[in-house]
Every structure is written in C-alpha cells, then in structure tokens.
Amino acid sequence: MREWWKDAVFYQIYPRSFMDSNGDGIGDLAGIESKLDYLSGLGVNALWISPFFKSPMKDFGYDVSDYRDVDPMFGSLDDCKRLIAAAHQRGIRLLFDLVANHSSNEHAWFRAASAAKGAREHGYYIWKPLAGRKPNNWKSLFELRSAWYPNKATGERYLATFTRFQPEFDWRNPELRKEIYDVMRFWYGIGVDGFRLDVATAYFKDERFRSNPFSWNAVPDIFQRHIYDRNRPEVHEVFKDMRRIADEAGERVLIGETHGQEAQLAAECHGKSGDELHMAFNFDFLNQPWSAAAFRASAERWYAALPPGAWPNFTLSNHDRPRAAFRFRTGDPLVTEARARLAAAMLLTLRGSPFVYYGEELGMGCQRIPKAALRDPLGIRTWPLGFLGRDPERTPMQWDASANSGFTSGRPWLPLNRDYVSRNVAAEAAEPDSILSLYKRLLALRKSRASLREGELAFLDGEDREVLAYLRSAGKERSLVLLNFASRPARFSLAGPALAGGEILLSTDAARGLGELGAEVELAPCEGLICDLR
C-alpha cells in the first residue's frame, strides 16, 4: 500500500497568524479548527502546525517549556484533541513541530539542571567550565554572539546556538533521549500523524567541541561552516530510534529540518536502508533565482541525491524566509502575480510531496514592518537591514476585507500586509481567475491524476531555455507540464512520436482557452500549462 504522505499536499500553519478565535490578536488552535472547512475546500490533506506548546515565546514557540501541554495563548490540550478529531473527520492529517534540539531555559529540566550539578537533569544539557576561555567559536544564530552563556549557580557555561533562552540538549545522554521519545509516544497516543523535526541535524555536537572553520557564507551561516555544531554522524542512531517509534505507532511520518543546504547531507537522513526519516526537508527552492534552468538543476540535484525508494518534497516558502511571491517580485505587479501562479503550477506538479505555506495560495507577499512593530529577535537585532528578520513572512492570514482581515477582532500581534483589502480569501474565492482559484484547480487536478501524484518524471529539452518542461507518467496516463519563466512569449515543440498532441487541462494564464494541444505550443509570458498527452 502506498503511504498516505506520498500523496499528501501539506499546508504549513504558523499558528500565531492563522486565525484568532478569542480576540487577543494571536491565532490559536480553535481558530485553526474554525478554518478546517476552508482548508478542506482548498484541497490540502495534511497540516504542519508550527509549535503551540507551552513556551515563554522568546523564539515564538521554538523554545518549549512543557512538551506535553498547549500554551494557554493557543488554547488547551482539549482544544488540541478537538482539532485533531475535527481534522481527521475531514480526512486531514496533522503534523506537529517537535523542537528537540533545545528546550526553553524555563523548562523544568533546565531549571533543575542549572540549579545543581548533582541534578539528574543536569546531564540533559551541555556544560563547560565558566573559568578560562570559551570552548570554541560557536555562535548563537539569532544573537550573533558566542553560543556559550554563563550559569553562576554551577560555575559553568551552557551552550545555546539559537538564542540564549534555548539551551541545547545533550543527545548523548540516554535519559534525555528517553524523555523525548516518550514525548513523541504521548502525542502519537493523542492522534498526531507525525512530526516535523526542528533543526534535526543539530542534535549532536562534536565530541571534542572543535571550532567551526571559516566560510564566506554570511547568511544564514554567519561566516562558519557548521561541521562541528551541526551535521554530526551520531544523529543517525537517533533517527533510527525515532523511526522505530513512529512505525510502532503506525502510519506516522517524520520529516526533518535537516539544516544543511547540501542535498547530499539531507538525503543521508533517510538512512542507508530507508530506516531513518521518511523525508528530509528540501529547502533548495528557497535559494533559487527566478530561472527555469535554476529550478530544473535544483530538482535534478535533489532527485539524484535521494537514496533509492526515498520520496522527494518541495517547498517555496516557510516561516523563516521571505515569501516566494516577494522573492520573485518584479517592478510590474502583473508579472509578479504571473510568477506566483507559475511557481504554484511547478510546486504542485513536480514529483514529490509539496508543502504550501499559509497565504501562499493568496499570493501573499512581504512588506517592510516598522521598527516599533517588529517581534522577531533576529529582525530587531538586524534592523534596519533588509529582510533578515522573519516577521514579514509571519503576518496574519488575510481572510476578508473587514478590519484586520477578519483574522482577529482585537489588535493583531503583527501588522497586516497593506494589500489585504483586495488580496484575501473572500475576494479571491469569488473570483474564478484568482490565484486562490488556481491553487484549488491545481490541487484538484493533482488529486485526479495518478501521473501528477505518483508518476515518474522526465525533464524535456526544448529550444527555449526559459521553458521548464517535464513529463509525468503513470501507466498509460501522461501529463505534460510546460512552464515559461520568461516575461515574453515562448515556444515549445512537441517533437517526436512520443509527444503526438493532447489536451490542455489547465493554464495559469486566465486568457488561455483550454482544449486541443497543437504540435507547436506558444506560451504566453510566465504561462504554465498542464496537458494530458495521448
């Protein structure tokens, strides 16, 4: 039987920003539940919800102080159970976000650990003596300073490579491992369908705590090659344990945020015999310029890197990087919109599970947020530099044209994008040519065609290098995808007997009529076509 997650289209929800049910300006679990019909109508069948666990919110939930409870800001454990049941009723699976590289410094484990060397939990974290020099050059990514912080009570330093409020676990400690595995079993017991593993390849640090070598990559690697504080080989044992626990629970999926930008490192997280993570997150599209050749090369790299049997995945945006519609913007808003539509057609027709970031289906972009309204510690620290902070991609979902887009009846935690009055769910749902309507058509087409869901993929070479072309085939069904990345018309010839005409099923360009596909296709600027081939 084919695993459910291979056919799933995932939708990432940043819970602070999706829907607020109680007017405090912050999205919550009941808010998500109230929008499940929207998500079901959109056609997604799995949600990844960023962390909503108990947290002092120093890194907006990526600093957990209780792994088994919901932060009151987002609701209660009962709300969570209700959300799972309501989602499952609609055939929507749920992934939660497991932040297991570090806890909050307010977690009971760290409180005990930092109070006394003799505490059992002391061994859950990483310590070095306070006296003398810092052990190495490792940095806190969001603070841009040394990752070693003093703890006077024990005369030691602890390690925290994100913010100082996120002390890192010592995954070499078997009791810590057991604690986290028990957390996973706890949520499986409640019905969660899997986990997205936050910074999973950072769990292990070099045994000898060697300094990272220099690298020219300033963002996001802060001039270091992270070979000693990330990507250590010991992590594979933990991935095997986690896979075993997921398999025991049955029909669960693990997808790792496998940090490295290198396809090979990420691919290794599937395990040599497919016994580790089900998927390693593929972030490579986030780094591509607007170019057919760049996206093709990126997809080919990923396909080639994956071990046999491993299933690919693609994403255009997430909560840590400026949105795709913003990255691919041009001076002409019509071209920007056409690009967002074309990118959607690519994301939803490549071979692999797509991850759609909330609001992407509306063509949401990013705007500059005034200093006083910034919330992300990284954004505050790097102000006024461009879009290094992560608030612009975390603004509230745009539901309708009413005050605050219908996201909240109170004051939203981040200002809304100014375009929400025209770019919102209500307006776009009523408009057959909107990008939201396009997403729905793409998702429905993907659902109805085995070739798009599970088929093989072969890239095709046309005469125009700005046209990305590929054939998806499953049995007798063949889908041809033609994507013109240029802002001018382009041609593609269906040369050879294998491509003897067919039918146009979908165009990203509203002006195109569907119907018969000729032997020579003329594509409009930034047009994407999906065709059934005879």
**Catalytic residues, which ones?**
198, 248
Stretch that binds Ca ion, among 16-24, 97-105, 215-223, 334-342 (CB under 5 A): 16-24
Q: How far is the CB of 323 from Ca ion (least distance, A)?
A: 23
The total of other beta-carbon atoms located within 10 Å of residue 511's CB is: 8
If the CB atoms of residues 20 and 361 are measured against Ca ion, the closer one turns out to be 20
Q: Quote the least distance from Cβ 151 to Ca ion, whole Å.
A: 35
Residue whose CB is less far from Ca ion, 155 or 410: 410
Q: What is the DSSP string of 205-242?
A: --TT-PPPPB-S--TTTTTB--SSSS--TTHHHHHHHH
Tell me whether residue 28 or residue 121 sits nearer to Ca ion (CB atom): 28
Q: Considering the complex, what minimum distance in angstroms separates the CB of residue 33 from Ca ion?
A: 12
Q: Scan for tokens 């920003």, then name that residue.
A: 17
Q: Which is nearer to Ca ion, 18 or 110 (CB)?
A: 18
Instruction: Tell me the window of 20-28, 221-229, 328-336, 386-394 that interacts with Ca ion (CB under 5 A).
Output: 20-28
Close Cβ partners of 193 (under 8 Å, ≥ 6 residues apart): 46, 93, 94, 95, 251, 252, 253
Contact 446, 348 (CB under 8 A): yes
**Can you tell me the distance from the alpha carbon of 147 to that of 144, in angstroms, rounded to the nearest whole number?**
9
Q: Which is nearer to Ca ion, 409 or 437 (CB)?
A: 409
Binding mask 25-44 for Ca ion (x = CB under 5 A): -x-x----------------
Closer residue to Ca ion (CB): 71 or 143: 71
Q: How far is the CB of 21 from Ca ion (least distance, A)?
A: 6
Nearer to Ca ion, 29 or 469 (CB): 29
Stretch that binds Ca ion, among 12-20, 136-144, 158-166, 392-400 (CB under 5 A): 12-20
Nearby residues of 348 by Cβ (< 8 Å), 6 or more positions away: 9, 354, 439, 442, 443, 446, 452
- Binding segment for Ca ion (CB under 5 A), chosen from 23-31, 130-138, 395-403, 474-482, is 23-31
- Return the range that interacts with Ca ion (CB under 5 A); candidates 21-29, 82-90, 172-180, 458-466: 21-29
Decide if residue 24 touches Ca ion (CB under 5 A): yes
Q: How far is the CB of 489 from Ca ion (least distance, A)?
A: 48
Asked whether 474 and 457 are in contact (CB, 8 A), the reply is: no
Which residues are CB-neighbours of 398 under 8 A, at least 6 positions away?
Answer: 359, 362, 364, 405, 407, 416, 417, 419, 420, 423, 424, 425
Distance between CA atoms of 303 and 295, rounded to whole angstroms?
Answer: 12
Name, in order, each residue with C-beta under 8 angstroms of 366's C-beta and a sequence gap of 6 or more: 322, 323, 326, 387, 392, 393, 395, 417
Query: Around Cβ 475, how many Cβ atoms within 10 Å?
Result: 8
Candidate segments 24-32, 183-191, 320-328, 425-433, binder of Ca ion by CB under 5 A: 24-32
Task: Please state the closest distance from residue 98 (CB atom) to Ca ion, in A.
Answer: 23
Q: Which of 470, 471, 483 is nearest to 509 (CA)?
A: 483
Work out which of 8, 20, 312, 317 binds Ca ion, going by CB under 5 A.
Answer: 20
| Binding mask of the shown chain, residues 191 to 230, with x at each position contacting Ca ion by CB under 5 A | ----------------------------------------
Secondary structure string (H, E, C) spanning 148-191: EEEEHHHCEEEECCCCCCCCEECCCCHHHHHHHHHHHHHHHHHC
Which C-beta is closer to Ca ion: that of 73 or that of 494?
Answer: 73
From 147, 136, 271, 113, select the one nearest 207 (Cα to Cα): 136
**Binding-residue total with Ca ion (CB under 5 A):** 5
Cα–Cα dist 263/345, whole Å: 23
Contact set for Ca ion, span 489-518 (CB under 5 A): none
| Residue 82 beta carbon to Ca ion: minimum distance, rounded to whole angstroms | 15
Name the minimum Å distance from CB 361 to Ca ion: 23
- For binding to Ca ion (CB under 5 A), which residues are involved? 20, 22, 24, 26, 28
